[in-house]
Amino acid sequence: MSQNPWDDPEKKDTPPEIMSENPKADAKVEQALQSASETADKSKEWRLIEKIVSSLNVEQRRARRWGIFFKLLTFIYLFALLGFFLMGRDISGAKEAVDRQPHVAIIEIRGVIADGADASADNVITALRSAFASRQSRAVILRINSPGGSPVQAGYINDEITRLKALHPDKKVYAVITDIGASGGYYIAVAADEIYADKASLVGSIGVTASGFGFVDLIEKMGIERRIMTSGENKAFLDPFSPQREDETAFWTTVLETTHQQFIREVREGRGDRLIESDKLFSGLVWSGEQALELGLIDGLGSSSYVARDIVGLERMVDYTHQPSPFDKLFDRLGVAFAKHLSAQLVQHWSPELR
């Protein structure tokens, strides 16, 4: 075998004298390679740290931008509320300026008469007291456009009109029915000194109703069993999922009849001998303005402007209708009014109504 190291293919690249005679050089090379490897690792770590710091900076800038956005949104919201408030004050200030001159007070009673509605007793009574308290209001016109509603709310308003008329005998109250003044709407109107309507207005409906639904057959067809437990004999009174009982119907009829008689009594006291007696007068029917005039349910045909100008003798009219605050208007537009209306309808489902 040849002794020449250059003949060995595994040792051709490294001369034997270099391998055996320069160990320090080999150590330096190895140290240099290790140092280069460590430097590369440190470089990777620094790049990773730089990326983390950079991403944190981006998140901070993004959070700062969102913070500025929400602060601006809050300021815009507050300024909008302030604008609504100041606008409401400007409107009330204009009203006070007009209030210094003799005028006729107008109070709108529009829509269903119910607690929480625009035509609630609280709103209407507040307007009535303001109108009677004003030194410059010479008369009060109730402009009614209502199909009726709660007999309790209508009764509150009727009683308050009677009370204020006794305190201010020199200030007359006129009711003017526009499209409809039926049931609870007419219940309020009879408290006025005089009632006017258009020839085509709907007037009357002196009656009481309470309505609901029965689901007994439906749940039987669907295989649903009704289970109800009460601590009182009549606690499940008028339950729509139970068969209707004759004694319950008879009792509820007496409740409605009592409320009807209260209504009739108020009409007789308010209209007096102006009423033309008829067997259908208190049957719940509704009449046109012309028919109502013949029956003595109203005193004449005309609008609120006609009453102010030709009956009272003043053309200037000031609206005393209760106005919700700008905040209430804003919340109503956001849907709160719908929720309140829905809850009111659920509560009043079985309550008697003047219709």
Q: Select from 335, 324, 326, 332 the least CA-distant residue to 79.
A: 326
Q: Of the ranges 50-64, 180-194, 265-279, which one carries the lowest mean pLDDT score?
A: 50-64
Residue with tokens 């016109």: 141
Residues 58 and 183 in one domain: no
Model pLDDT, residue 298? 96
Average pLDDT rounded to a whole number, residues 54-81:
78
Q: Select from 10, 11, 9, 8 the least CA-distant residue to 19.
A: 11
Inter-residue contact 267 to 295 (CB < 8 Å):
no
Inter-residue contact 110 to 149 (CB < 8 Å):
no
Whether the predicted pLDDT of 1 surpasses 80 = no
Residues 171 and 186 in one domain: yes
Higher model confidence: residue 232 or residue 201? 201
**Domain-ending residue, one of 81, 100, 119:** 100
Higher model confidence: residue 289 or residue 53? 289
CATH of the domain at 141: 3.90.226.10
Q: What is the pLDDT of residues 84-123, one digit of tens each?
A: 665 655 444 445 545 679 999 999 999 999 998 999 999 9
What are 225's two structure tokens? 């069993």
Distance of alpha carbon 222 from alpha carbon 247, whole angstroms = 28
Higher model confidence: residue 328 or residue 262? 262
Whether the predicted pLDDT of 292 surpasses 80 = yes
Distance of alpha carbon 92 from alpha carbon 28, whole angstroms = 95
Residue 94, domain member (yes or no) = yes
Distance of alpha carbon 67 from alpha carbon 83, whole angstroms = 24
What are 121's two structure tokens? 């007793």
Residues 118 and 79 in one domain: no
Whether the predicted pLDDT of 79 surpasses 80 = no
Whether the predicted pLDDT of 40 surpasses 70 = no
Half-sphere exposure of 65 (CA within 13 A, CB side): 6
Residues 84 and 190 in one domain: no
Residue 182, judged by CB atoms within 10 A of its CB (0-12, 13-18, 19+), counts as buried
Q: Select from 190, 203, 204, 209 the least CA-distant residue to 149.
A: 209
The secondary structure element, H or E, covering residue 319 is: strand 317-319
Distance of alpha carbon 206 from alpha carbon 204, whole angstroms = 5
Residue 39, judged by CB atoms within 10 A of its CB (0-12, 13-18, 19+), counts as exposed
Residue 85, domain member (yes or no) = yes
Residue 234, domain member (yes or no) = no
SS3 for 353?
strand
Q: Phi and psi dihedrals of 137, rounded to 5?
A: -80, 125
Residues 142 and 202 in one domain: yes
Residue 47, domain member (yes or no) = yes
Residue 222, domain member (yes or no) = no
What's the start-to-end Cα distance of the chain, in Å?
129
Residues 87 and 130 in one domain: no
Residues 73 and 94 in one domain: yes
Q: How does strand 202-204 pair with strand 286-288? A: antiparallel
Residue 288, domain member (yes or no) = yes
Distance of alpha carbon 238 from alpha carbon 6, whole angstroms = 116
Residue type, 335: G
Model pLDDT, residue 96? 53
The secondary structure element, H or E, covering residue 203 is: strand 202-204
Residues 190 and 274 in one domain: yes
Mean pLDDT (the chain) is 81
Distance of alpha carbon 55 from alpha carbon 57, whole angstroms = 5
Model pLDDT, residue 241? 81
Half-sphere exposure of 329 (CA within 13 A, CB side): 12
Distance of alpha carbon 298 from alpha carbon 197, whole angstroms = 7
**Domain-ending residue, one of 51, 66, 100:** 100
**Domain-ending residue, one of 52, 82, 100:** 100
Query: Which residues sit opposite 180 in a β-bridge?
Result: 202
Residues 125 and 180 in one domain: yes
Query: Which residues sit opposite 106 in a β-bridge?
Result: 141, 319
Residue with tokens 């102006």: 274
Distance of alpha carbon 117 from alpha carbon 344, whole angstroms = 9
Residue 5, domain member (yes or no) = no
Whether the predicted pLDDT of 193 surpasses 70 = yes
Residues 77 and 201 in one domain: no
Model pLDDT, residue 234? 79
Inter-residue contact 168 to 138 (CB < 8 Å):
no
Residues 275 and 304 in one domain: yes
Q: What is the pLDDT of residues 4-31, one digit of tens each?
A: 554 555 444 444 444 445 565 656 666 6
* Neighbouring C-beta atoms of residue 76, cutoff 10 Å: 10
Model pLDDT, residue 104? 96
Whether the predicted pLDDT of 342 surpasses 80 = no
Residues 66 and 83 in one domain: yes
Count of structural domains, the chain: 2
Model pLDDT, residue 84? 63
SS3 for 175?
strand
Which domain does 32 fall in, by range?
23-100
